[in-house]
Structure 1
Amino acid sequence: MSVPRAAVRPAAVRRKVESWLAEQDEADAIVLLARPQWNDEPVLTVAGRTVRVVPCPTPLAARAALADRPPHEKLVLLTDLTDNELGDGLLAHVSLQQGRSVDPWDLVSQTFGGQVRPDSTLVRTGRWVADALTELAPAVGWPPPTGTILTRDHALRHLAGTVLGLEPDGLDAAGLLQWSTDAPAQMRLGDLPVEWIDGIGTFLVDVAGPVAVPVLAAVRAGHGVDAIPLGLLAGVLWPRDSAQSSDVELAVARTRLEPRFAGTRLTETQAWAYTEAAEAWIYRALDDEAVRHDAHRILRRAEDIAEEIGVAGRLAASPLLPAGFTQRMRAFGAAVRFSLPVAGPAVPAGDLIERAQERLAEVEAHRSADRTRVETARMAVRLLRWLATPEQQPPATMLDAVHRQIREDGWVDRARLDVFDGDVDQMVGDAYRVLHQAVHARRSRHDRHFAELFQDATGAERDPGALLRVEDVLDRVIQPIIDNGRRVLLLVLDGMGAAAGIEIAESLVRSGAWTELTPHGGQRTGVLAALPTVTAVNRCSLLSGMISVGDRSDELKGFAARFPDGVLLHKADLRTPAGLAVDREVAAAIEDPAVPVVAAVINAIDDALDRSDPGTVEWSADTVKGLRDLLAIAQDRVVVMVSDHGHVVDRGSEAVVGKSESSENRWRPATGDPADGELLFRGTRVALADGELILPWQEELRYGPRKAGYHGGASPAEAVIPLLLFASGNDETVPGWSGAPVASPGWWREPLRQTAQADQPAAAAPRTVAARPSRRPRAVVQDESLFDLPAASIPPPLAGPPAPVDPASALVEALLASPVYADRRGIRAPIPDERVAAMITALLAGNGRATLETLATRAGVPVHRISATFTALRRLLQVEGYPVLSLDPDGRTAKLDIPLMIEQFVLAPS
């Protein structure tokens, strides 16, 4: 009696025939015990032989097939008849004189080399696995396992890898997302039997994790090519903030998203894993120039889907989507705007500034951030902090006023130039406009007071005392350096004010090749210009050592009279032939030990006042043409960097054009009375108009034709010249000068939001801590805020009366007491523990981030040594090569991986 049998798949027949032909059996036919059903091509070519497949439901059908067989063909008879039903006469003409069963697992073994047997776990997975492995086997068979047992993992990894077009070891979340970008590959999966798809999907969840669920669900729904955009949106729709997770708008959006996952409802775990994998894919793609355009296309697609499901307004939650950056910037702009009072004194409230700083942190964290816009946002927050600082007593002397411009207001100028330039988004731009108005109002009071002191000092003809004037630089700065046996390179950066000087000094110190020196290692000082603050007056006075007026030839004469063995180079002298960055004669002069001082006039900044926009240029050794090249060959000279005057930038629609009988931009003859924003100046330091003229102190006032920037007036931005000294190597090379401290004022640096004691200079951290943990903990996921650190990361206090424990202090104490730290310190040296504690405390207070300037300030490290100190600290913390401490690409911001530090130094209890 025939036995009901399963239908046999074409690949199984082919495998059985391959095995039969390999036996070199001379029989012309083989009987396979299977359902007599065949819907494929009746004639196969196997191993070069023609094989015809004939379903035989009856013995008569089998006999007819044998009788009709052409001589060149082999036969495969599919039948569910028993050998008795077929009869000995028929079986005498077939291989082995009997029917052969089609065992799917025998065929699987054959495809893996024939010397293996499936383990029970693989067999229990289901018949579908055997059919899939048989049908999808490569022509050369599957790679055999290392032993004789074919495991489920080995078999299904190769099967799934073949189906998805991935390497067996690439069956992870990243691999699945990469596969989702290949539409033809998804179609190949869709062509498989449903049971196979389900089985492969189950296995992928095992090996790739929960990400496989939404990816495969999207593929089934026909939205597989949107798998990565959908993953990016999952982070918006399933926020980790429990307060938002119950949001009705998000719940509705999740429902709208379900059809794109074929009705599958994602769990939070699946959604979070999905988002992390999608974001990681985008991060890699953005860093790879070859596929960066794909990443941007995917980001745009995610925003389109967000619009379709009604959550476009919630994309600020995404750290990647460009629309999210726009929304974060607008939230930041609103925070800036709300921090400024509508009426009354423009002094922002501290809690509102804190909110703006929080919004800034969100902007900074966005991967699609426009770095220029982010830097402007940082400047805006700095200006908010400056506005919140109590107004000090006005300077009592001209020297104090110069120092305020160099040490405080010059930094304000640097920041407000960026804010004045604005933002492309109208909402943010409006906030910046209001902020700039508040800053300008306060700075204008400073400018007026400066000009009044300047007016008084100019008219009184007092002895300057400690005040450096432009005509004093050669005698009081350059000559003492030469007298102490050092040669000088004097760089006159025409038009460099305090703001530009700050940027240039930073770029030189950051390079590591130069050390900034200040008088006795104190704060920077400045030089007071002569009047009017134009090149013809001040550059000639600077280079001749007396108040004078002249052009290039007069400057050469005056300099030669003061330094007969010196060399003065102007713009034409610095031009070079093809192939040379520095002219041979210029290089020879700088390298000549017999030349005590080489002076070079560099016009890049002053030229920008006419030909470009000095307010938008970030001045540095790279943007001031020729500066880096001159410094490269002046390593054995002390570099003194000054200017002849500063400048103000054009105020656009805010500019005021005053009446004048001359065409000068920022000064006019003393005819009539001074108007608003002007003062009358007279004295021997007024070098034009017979020693008497009217100068504007208001920056927005001009008289002549419109340009990008102006100089000539009595504002501190024009009249205060930064004095910058640099030496290569030894910071004690110039008597009376030594390594400079951090130059920026406190409001410029990010605040430490921990406790009041964090604002004090670093002190040694207490060394008594809790008992040390006995084993290394698992990594802790970093929370959004330092003060939400997991309790496990904070060592328990010593026995005694309960007292409030500051988490950051406890963590620092635990670090210093860690056996791992002790071992590292013993071989790494030589940073004092109190310095380590100060820098780690600063980083913890900033949620793992702080600028190098902040670290230098908190740890009491001279600014020129902070790079080396940071490098030593990074080596100290880098256990087993893991980057506990790193430096951002901006070269200015340190980043501490707090969870990794906790793990590497075993700071959590077991």
Structure 2
Amino acid sequence: MTAPRPAVRPAAVRRKVESWLADGDDAPALALRARPEWTDDTVLTVAGAKVRVVPCPTPIAARAALVDRADDERLVLLTDLTEQELGEGLLAHFSKHQTRSVDSWDMVRQVFGNQADLDLTLVRSGKWVADALTDLAPPQGWPPPPGTVLTRDHALRQLAGALLKLQPDELDSAGLLHWSTDAQAQLRFLDLPDDWAAGVSAFLVEVAGPAAVPVMAAVRARHGVDAVPLGLLAGVLWPRGAQARTDVDLAVARTRLEPRFGDARLTEPQAAAFQEAAEAWIYRALDGEGPARAEAHRMLHRAEEIAAEIDLTGRLAASSLLPSGLTQRMRAFAGAVRLALPATAAATPAATLVGRAQAALAEVERHRAADRRRVETARMAVRLLRWLAEPDGPMPATLLAAVHRQVRDDAWVDRARLDIFAGESDQQVAEAYHLLHRAVDARRARHDQQFAGLLQDATAAEREPGALLPVEDVLDRVVQPILDHGRRILLLVLDGMSTAASTEIADSVARNPSWLELTPGGRQRTGVLAALPTVTEVSRCSLFSGRITAGDRVAEAKAFTGRFADGVLVHKAGLRGPAGAAVDPRVADALADPAVPVVAAVINTIDDALDRSDPGTVEWSTDTVNGLRDLLSLAQDRIVVLVSDHGHVVDRGPEAVSRPVDTGGNRWRPAGADPAGEGELAFTGSRVALGGGSVVLPWREEVRYGPRKAGYHGGASSAEAVIPLLIFSGHDEDAVPGWAGAPIASPEWWREPLPETASGRTAEPAGIPAAGGRPGNGRPTKRIRATVQDEGLFDLPAPAAPLPATNTGATAASPPPATSQAAPVGGPTGQRDGAADLVDALLTSPTYRERRDSRAPLPDQRVAALVGALIAGGGRATLDTLATRAGIPAHRIQPTVTALRRLLQVEGYPVLTLDADGRTAKLDVDLLVEQFGLSPR
């Protein structure tokens, strides 16, 4: 028995008619061997011709159709009769006097231009492909293949691209996910015959990879519009790496999610690819225009809704994109901060607890939705934990030592705690920051009390300043020696700039490669002691007058002109230029004039913020201090002396203690009937310019006397009484007698710690000997002397002198001094680890020796220190850390790292790179091993 012929598809009939008409055949009818059934339009218009389709189950039906044919139409007869059954009389009216078969693959060739042979793998794909390609072919046909064979890939790419409204080269996971966001497009896909949908889905898996499996499964389960959110959750449900473990809760959540994939179970590779594709889609959308960003946020919100539906919300910390994931990471970080506080850390070593907080911070930093401010605040919290974990040293023996503690250590503490004080909106994190701030305040209050006691004693005793630099001596002992050395000066007085604010401003200036910071002898920064009380009318007038006095800007100008007859002093209003000029032309002319030795400018931005904004939340820089960037750009050939008249403290909100007084200021009162109380000290002496030479000043930051403002000054806290002193030159290290290129200014606890090596020891900084007074190579060396300010530094103008050996940062061709040798990563002899062995293998490898000998080399000890620090840091380290570990001055670390990059990057491969921030170096250790032929770690 002969099987019945299949019903012919309308598209196949149309293609046959197109071919018939294109041949110029004028026969009235085309007979097709097909089941005599037709449910589509009876009359078709093809190439301008009217064509009637007639099912003909019998010869009589065919004959009747021919008889009834109108003159302006042609016929297509669908019949399953043989030519013998039809007879020669009917065949005479048919095209070519025969019946024609409707071969699906002939139709395929036709819609691809009849120019190519069929690939057998295409034919073997099944009849559904032929039917789909025929039915869905555009009016002009499919694009022909590039060669002589119609390949399966070309045909199915055209088909899938048409179904998904994508270009054939967009059939990847990204394109697939983008298509999934279009609900109408998915409905059209779901209306396809099942075998078509299944076949196209299988092909998409081939070309788009494993991510296509869950996407198409979700689409066919009618959850395709949630494909991106589901992909975001895949990373939580199928964790990878160190977190790759499945517990009962995750297994249950996966089961609850399966219906959204048509009860399909994803494999780990599919889930991983799905997550990566979804996250990539989100990144692109967030980088797009407003509507795209809005859609990305909608997808993130939808993912959290689905997570709640399957009881997965508590596990979203594993997501590096979802907002709830950041919230949970921040709360986990807050818990680690609370545990690391001194009051709760007694049972566990502080370093361990701080390390856990550092690890929790790393999780926060890895979250892609974390905004810069929150992350930076969290970094500040960890820095403060490291500071608290260090033993609080003994009370400074001298006022100079207390000044240096403020400049070199506590200024950075103040900078960090301002961020903590600004706080967090999440209450759990806010509580942790509150506890941390309280612990920091307790230590800082002790420091302030110690400082104020030393200041009280020195003020009353009328001691000679010695190496201590009071504000009234700045012109004599800093400015005049520079002028005597033949250099012109731009003196910038940033009213109210605290030592904390100065650390930010110095960082900002140093980011401009045109400027080099200088410090006394190339050692750590020093500071200036303000006059008392620490208010503008006293300290600034004393600065310009060269003696303790009080006065307004008129008195300042008179004193300045009396000392520098050819100098120019401008206050805030005098800096403003007319429309189009960033700086008043008269000021710009003065800066360019060789006959003007000193241009002094008073900038009130910071002091103004104490009244009208919030100085604690501003990031002070050359961009936020009005006019600073423009003045620096006009002073490239001058030495820039950047100083203040006093510092400040910020308002403490509900923690503030208000003590109303009749006279005085916000932070000072005349000594009268009321003696000094809690948090106050009485000061008497020639350096007290108000109150008849006797005042009461608070040393506790919380105390104020006047109306509430954003910030205050006038008191005896070290943040108010210690003035920063910064000097910059246009990369001339000999510009200031006795001053040289500065080292990294931040204290050790400020920079990221190097993790312990495999031997259990932390890599030692360069030049600091290991236990027993010997560095890790076993050779004896001198212990580096602590960088304490030389007692004679400001006694007399010092002659120009070369930098100390430990601060020169040897040039590429010169070996480093003995005290700058880097300790091997592994610590002392007998405790070496794989990292130290790798450094040794690098220095002795033939490739390294060849490259080192072919150019002006960095000293091997310096290379060892830099590479060792990078390996110890897990392949990453900030430039500040590298500079301190390798004993390199701050201004030489950039060219040193550039030289190291040239040395290590064999054939241009990126062994050593810099992050986008330009401040973090990254070492690809595996590539280092490969390029230099080292033994695997």
The interval holding the TM-score normalised by the smaller chain is over 0.9
1:790 corresponds in structure 2 to none
Question: Does the 8 Å contact 1:421/1:616 carry over to 2?
Answer: yes
2:765 corresponds in structure 1 to 760
2:334 corresponds in structure 1 to 333
1:74-473 correspondence runs (5 A): 74-241=74-241, 245-290=245-290, 291-342=292-343, 349-473=350-474
- Structure 2 distance, partners of 1:269, 1:682, is 76
What is the Cα deviation at residue 868 of structure 1? 3.3
SS in structure 2 opposite 1:198? helix
Could you give the per-residue CA deviations for residues 853-902 of structure 1, whole angstroms, max 9, x where no partner exists?
11222232221232333444455556676655444444433344556666
1:775 corresponds in structure 2 to none
1:741 corresponds in structure 2 to 743
2:653 corresponds in structure 1 to 652
Aligned counterpart in structure 1 of residue 880 of structure 2, from 837, 849, 853: 853
Name the amino acid aligned to 2:395: P
Question: Does the 8 Å contact 1:518/1:738 carry over to 2?
Answer: yes
Give the 3 Å change call, closer, same or farther, for CA 210–55 of structure 1 in structure 2.
Answer: same
- Structure 2 distance, partners of 1:881, 1:13, is 62
Query: RMSD across aligned C-alpha pairs, in angstroms?
Result: 2.4
Question: Does the 8 Å contact 1:346/1:438 carry over to 2?
Answer: no
Question: Does the 8 Å contact 2:765/2:886 carry over to 1?
Answer: no
- Structure 1 distance, partners of 2:410, 2:166, is 60
Alignment gaps of 5+ in structure 1:
767-801
What is the Cα deviation at residue 813 of structure 1? 5.0
Name the amino acid aligned to 1:715: S
Question: Does the 8 Å contact 1:3/1:80 carry over to 2?
Answer: no
Give the 3 Å change call, closer, same or farther, for CA 858–210 of structure 1 in structure 2.
Answer: same
Question: Does the 8 Å contact 1:339/1:348 carry over to 2?
Answer: no
SS in structure 2 opposite 1:734? coil
Question: Does the 8 Å contact 2:342/2:388 carry over to 1?
Answer: no
Could you give the per-residue CA deviations for residues 195-236 of structure 1, whole angstroms, max 9, x where no partner exists?
011111111111111111100011111111111110000000
What is the Cα deviation at residue 541 of structure 1? 0.6
1:442-591 correspondence runs (5 A): 442-591=443-592
1:675 corresponds in structure 2 to 677
Residue 56 (1) aligns with residue 83 (2): no
Question: Does the 8 Å contact 1:341/1:348 carry over to 2?
Answer: no
Question: Does the 8 Å contact 1:614/1:649 carry over to 2?
Answer: yes
What is the Cα deviation at residue 4 of structure 1? 2.2
What is the Cα deviation at residue 630 of structure 1? 0.6
Give the 3 Å change call, closer, same or farther, for CA 572–667 of structure 1 in structure 2.
Answer: same
Give the 3 Å change call, closer, same or farther, for CA 58–809 of structure 1 in structure 2.
Answer: farther
Name the amino acid aligned to 1:760: P
Question: Does the 8 Å contact 1:521/1:738 carry over to 2?
Answer: yes
SS in structure 2 opposite 1:759? coil
Give the 3 Å change call, closer, same or farther, for CA 879–569 of structure 1 in structure 2.
Answer: same
2:703 corresponds in structure 1 to 701
Give the 3 Å change call, closer, same or farther, for CA 617–56 of structure 1 in structure 2.
Answer: same
Question: Does the 8 Å contact 2:412/2:503 carry over to 1?
Answer: yes
SS in structure 2 opposite 1:13? helix
Could you give the per-residue CA deviations for residues 711-759 of structure 1, whole angstroms, max 9, x where no partner exists?
1111100000011000113233222111111000000000000333513
Alignment gaps of 5+ in structure 2:
769-774, 778-828
Name the amino acid aligned to 2:534: T
Give the 3 Å change call, closer, same or farther, for CA 826–144 of structure 1 in structure 2.
Answer: farther
Give the 3 Å change call, closer, same or farther, for CA 285–633 of structure 1 in structure 2.
Answer: same
Name the amino acid aligned to 1:258: E
1:833-852 correspondence runs (5 A): 833-852=860-879
Give the 3 Å change call, closer, same or farther, for CA 563–711 of structure 1 in structure 2.
Answer: same
1:795 corresponds in structure 2 to none
- Structure 1 distance, partners of 2:917, 2:466, is 41
Give the 3 Å change call, closer, same or farther, for CA 346–688 of structure 1 in structure 2.
Answer: farther
What is the Cα deviation at residue 486 of structure 1? 0.4
**Structure 1 stretch displaced more, 519-528 or 733-742:** 733-742
**Structure 1 stretch displaced more, 287-296 or 113-122:** 287-296
- Structure 2 distance, partners of 1:894, 1:260, is 44
2:787 corresponds in structure 1 to none
Question: Does the 8 Å contact 2:755/2:762 carry over to 1?
Answer: no
SS in structure 2 opposite 1:98? strand
Question: Does the 8 Å contact 2:342/2:439 carry over to 1?
Answer: no
2:621 corresponds in structure 1 to 620
Residue 607 (1) aligns with residue 608 (2): yes
Give the 3 Å change call, closer, same or farther, for CA 715–242 of structure 1 in structure 2.
Answer: closer
**Structure 1 stretch displaced more, 805-814 or 419-428:** 805-814
1:774 corresponds in structure 2 to none
- Structure 1 distance, partners of 2:285, 2:903, is 33
SS in structure 1 opposite 2:185? helix
Could you give the per-residue CA deviations for residues 814-855 of structure 1, whole angstroms, max 9, x where no partner exists?
655677767776778654454444334333333343222112
Give the 3 Å change call, closer, same or farther, for CA 300–644 of structure 1 in structure 2.
Answer: same
Give the 3 Å change call, closer, same or farther, for CA 449–832 of structure 1 in structure 2.
Answer: same
- Structure 2 distance, partners of 1:341, 1:831, is 43
Aligned counterpart in structure 1 of residue 724 of structure 2, from 722, 725, 730: 722
- Structure 2 distance, partners of 1:383, 1:221, is 52
What is the Cα deviation at residue 410 of structure 1? 0.6
1:862 corresponds in structure 2 to 889
Give the 3 Å change call, closer, same or farther, for CA 148–331 of structure 1 in structure 2.
Answer: same
Give the 3 Å change call, closer, same or farther, for CA 345–593 of structure 1 in structure 2.
Answer: farther
Paired residues, number: 875
What is the Cα deviation at residue 59 of structure 1? 1.6
Name the amino acid aligned to 1:204: L
Question: Does the 8 Å contact 2:345/2:353 carry over to 1?
Answer: no
- Structure 1 distance, partners of 2:564, 2:47, is 98
- Structure 2 distance, partners of 1:879, 1:363, is 35
**Structure 1 stretch displaced more, 591-600 or 805-814:** 805-814
2:821 corresponds in structure 1 to none
What is the Cα deviation at residue 812 of structure 1? 4.5
Name the amino acid aligned to 1:84: Q
SS in structure 1 opposite 2:124? helix
Could you give the per-residue CA deviations for residues 507-563 of structure 1, whole angstroms, max 9, x where no partner exists?
000122211110111100000111110111100110111111111111011111221
Name the amino acid aligned to 1:446: H
Give the 3 Å change call, closer, same or farther, for CA 570–196 of structure 1 in structure 2.
Answer: same
Question: Does the 8 Å contact 1:340/1:346 carry over to 2?
Answer: no
**Structure 1 stretch displaced more, 345-354 or 668-677:** 345-354
- Structure 1 distance, partners of 2:231, 2:667, is 59
- Structure 2 distance, partners of 1:572, 1:563, is 21
Q: When the two structures are superposed, what TM-score results if normalisation uses the length of structure 1?
A: 0.92
**Structure 1 stretch displaced more, 332-341 or 281-290:** 281-290
Question: Does the 8 Å contact 1:494/1:644 carry over to 2?
Answer: yes
SS in structure 2 opposite 1:76? strand
2:686 corresponds in structure 1 to 684
- Structure 1 distance, partners of 2:854, 2:67, is 90
- Structure 2 distance, partners of 1:842, 1:641, is 33
SS in structure 1 opposite 2:661? coil
- Structure 1 distance, partners of 2:484, 2:671, is 43
Question: Does the 8 Å contact 2:456/2:681 carry over to 1?
Answer: yes
What is the Cα deviation at residue 46 of structure 1? 1.0
Give the 3 Å change call, closer, same or farther, for CA 343–134 of structure 1 in structure 2.
Answer: closer
SS in structure 2 opposite 1:721? strand
Question: Does the 8 Å contact 2:482/2:735 carry over to 1?
Answer: no
Give the 3 Å change call, closer, same or farther, for CA 887–407 of structure 1 in structure 2.
Answer: same
